[in-house]
Amino acid sequence: MRRICISVRAESQEEALARVQKAQVYKPLLVEVRLDYMAPSEAKLAARRAAGKHSNILLTYRRWLEGGARRMAEEERAKLLLELIEAKPMAVDIELHTLEERRELADRAREEGVLLVASWHSSYTPGARELENIARRELELAWVAKVVPRAGRAADNLEVLKLYRRVAGRLVAFCSGSMGVLSRVLCLMAGAPYTYVCLPGEATAEGQLTAGELIELMEAAGVEGFLLDR
């Protein structure tokens, strides 16, 4: 098993299931299914089918303001997120903003034995103090804290990677955008339990490497700990 989360997007449940199956070939720790590319009714069916067939599924219905593909009222999306939790995947990604506004989501995840990834995405990279505050708030609520600002310059990668020295816990922090590619790789060496990649030609975010590209880089560099025992 490799320390990668392969993110897949699809507009139908059949397409989602096919891409999840394709992703499993790379032996990832997680496969993220970006359900926000589907209508809610289709997303519910895809969630149940994917979680029922595979034990490493991470379900995400991304908030529009943080890069989601579909506009949706937060009240309606919260109800959908509850249904995703009840599908009992390995994990569900929910934004920090939503988790703090709707504590019942974290409670339900705990009751169902579903792990939470608390995430935060931004179009810019804030200062060190703000990044640390975000990560600590996420770790109070979730299994993994995901912090992903967009890099406007190469130095933003360093600002984010420094988080691993200041925050103890399961932290997945890197920069998005074309300037953030470096941190997507180096975060594994800094202490991230996994990083996000995509299938060839099917990126879900700017700057994502494909699973094959990252595996080749890690093997060429001889990075220890990239392969997990389980």
Structure tokens given for 149: 């600002």
Q: Which long-range contacts (CB under 8 A, 24 or more apart) does 158-165 make?
A: 159/125, 159/127, 159/128, 159/131, 160/125, 160/131, 161/186, 161/187, 161/190, 162/128, 163/128, 163/131, 163/132, 163/135, 164/190, 164/191, 164/192
Please state whether beta strands 171-173 and 115-122 pair in parallel, antiparallel, or not at all (unpaired): unpaired
Q: Which of 44, 54, 146, 162 is catalytic?
A: 146
CA 138/CA 120 separation, integer angstroms: 9
Number of H helices, E strands in the chain: 10, 8
Catalytic residue flag (residue 121):
yes
The sign of the CA dihedral 53, 58, 63, 68 is: negative
Catalytic residue flag (residue 97):
no
Q: Which of 22, 79, 121, 162 is catalytic?
A: 121
CA distances from 13 to 46, 65, 83, 213 (A): 5, 24, 16, 27
Give me the active site residues, please: 121, 146
